[in-house]
Amino acid sequence: MATADFESLVSAVESETPIEFDGLRIDREDDAYTVETSEGTQTGLEEADLQQALEPIAEYVTNWDYWQRSVGGDGTARRAFLRWCERAPLEDDGGNGADTDRPTDEETLAVPARYESLRDGIDREWGQLAITTRFVDVDEHGGERVYDCWHVDDADTDLTDLEVYDDPLDAREIATYDEDGRYRPLKTAPTLVSGWAFTGLSGSELVETVEFFYPATVANWHREQRAALDVDHWFETAERQTGIYDVIDELPREAVDWMAEACCVDSQCLRRREWQYEEDDDLDVDGGDGTFPCREPCSLVVAAARKWTILESEEERHYELELTTSEFNQLAELIDAVAEGRTDEIREADVNDGANRFRARYLRAKRFDEEGSLEARDQRDD
Ligand code: SF4
């Protein structure tokens, strides 16, 4: 155990008993100390005996030192996130009673089990980020932790095959474009490129890195943990829009469901949608399983909603067009392939797939008129 850790704890004990943290309790009554952990209780200790009493439970001491002296920031999102990273129990938020929404299926680790795991590293996933928390060197540096972060797809890739970074700011650059070099307007889309790693980060650097990849996710997750997530539902968001977006509150109720299905499901966005049509009027579409919540319709959805509002204002018509059964089915296959983003995966030789490029070109050659539209008769023209 590092002597400094012990001295800090003893001086904390002198000024603020009882100490109660992560399964360690130290109390003083008159001049006698009690030290209690899940491993046992020692009572009637004099101050001179304290170090000896703490040595067998050094893990609790270095753990206290790391969280109280190195990390600090009681009640902050940064601290809560770092505790989540190593599966430590989440802390109370000062007893305001606002912790009722905390997930109950999270497996947390008490100090001895956590220390065992931190020697090899504790892995968590945050969207497409794989985060490992590990000791620097537990014999030399007590409970000091460092953090590594890379793409979940690179979990089995050797570090020497990855581009290694240590400045959180580099995450912003990595998050800007997808693997085809296209700008990523939605940072929580599951299109983060792989092939990079951040290693040996401090806790603050890790949180900064995560926030460059996924802005505001840590803060919103933390609010949700404390049952303090302020959700702005669709209609109130739509109603307060001005300028060119002023129209989106006219989007029909059922179209908002279709929009959420198009944009907000797990395959398109890693946030878990918590907003609904209105308070007490839930959308039919599931909000997803993301670790971090979405508290309001984002700018991408608002912009798309404007387009859908305009399209939904059009009157429906009946068209008559001639297609074989296979051609009719092919239209569905084409739409599905585009919607699922799999057109790039369809091989040129795979003419069994209705979304094959040659199949699509053939259909266009056969069924489109000279203006490039499907040859169809609008029945209102009859
Ligand atoms: S509104 Fe939908 S697409 Fe936008 S961030 Fe939230 S869940 Fe994702």
What's the pLDDT at 11? 78
Could you report the per-residue pLDDT of 24-63, keeping only the tens digit for each?
A: 999 988 888 899 998 899 999 888 888 888 888 999 999 9
DSSP 21-34: ETTEEEEEETTEEE
Burial 86-111 (b: 16+ CB within 10 A, else e): bbbebbebeeeeeeeeeeeeeeebeb
User: Cβ contacts of residue 215 below 8 Å, gap of 6+?
Assistant: 187
What's the pLDDT at 51? 82
In eight-state DSSP terms, residue 377 is E
User: 128 and 270 in contact (C-beta within 8 Å)?
Assistant: yes
* d(C-alpha 136, C-alpha 287), whole Å: 39
User: 283 and 266 in contact (C-beta within 8 Å)?
Assistant: no
CA quadruple 50, 144, 218, 130: dihedral, nearest 10: -130
* d(C-alpha 131, C-alpha 149), whole Å: 5
In eight-state DSSP terms, residue 281 is B
pLDDT along the chain (382 residues), means of 10: 71 82 91 89 88 89 93 95 96 48 69 95 97 86 92 95 96 97 97 97 98 98 96 97 97 98 97 97 97 98 98 94 96 97 95 97 95 84 66
Q: HEC string of 283-345?
A: CCCCCCCCCCEECCCCHHHHHHHHHHHHHHCCCCCCEECCCCHHHHHHHHHHHHHHHCCCHHH
What's the pLDDT at 3? 66
Q: Which of 137, 160, 159, 140 is nearest to 150 (CA)?
A: 159
Probe residue for ligand 1, chosen from 188, 229, 285, 289 as the CB with the greatest number of ligand atoms within 8 Å: 188
Q: Are strands 145-151 and 196-201 parallel, antiparallel or unpaired?
A: antiparallel
CATH 3.30.70.2320 assigned to 234-312: yes
Query: Closest residue (by CA) to atom 5 of ligand 1?
Result: 298
Query: Closest residue (by CA) to atom 3 of ligand 1?
Result: 264
* d(C-alpha 3, C-alpha 253), whole Å: 65
Q: Where are the domains of the chain?
A: 3-64, 104-225, 234-312, 319-381
What's the pLDDT at 109? 94
Looking up tokens 């404007």 gives 306
User: 135 and 145 in contact (C-beta within 8 Å)?
Assistant: yes
What's the pLDDT at 381? 67
Residue 28, judged by CB atoms within 10 A of its CB (0-12, 13-18, 19+), counts as middle
CATH code: domain 104-225 is 3.30.1360.190
Same fold, 104-225 and 234-312: no
Atom of ligand 1 nearest to the CA of 290: 7
User: 269 and 294 in contact (C-beta within 8 Å)?
Assistant: yes
Separation of 269 CA from ligand 1 center, angstroms?
6
Atom of ligand 1 nearest to the CA of 268: 3
Separation of 195 CA from ligand 1 center, angstroms?
26
Ligand 1 pocket by Cβ (under 6 Å): 186, 188, 263-264, 269, 271, 273, 294, 297-298, 300-301
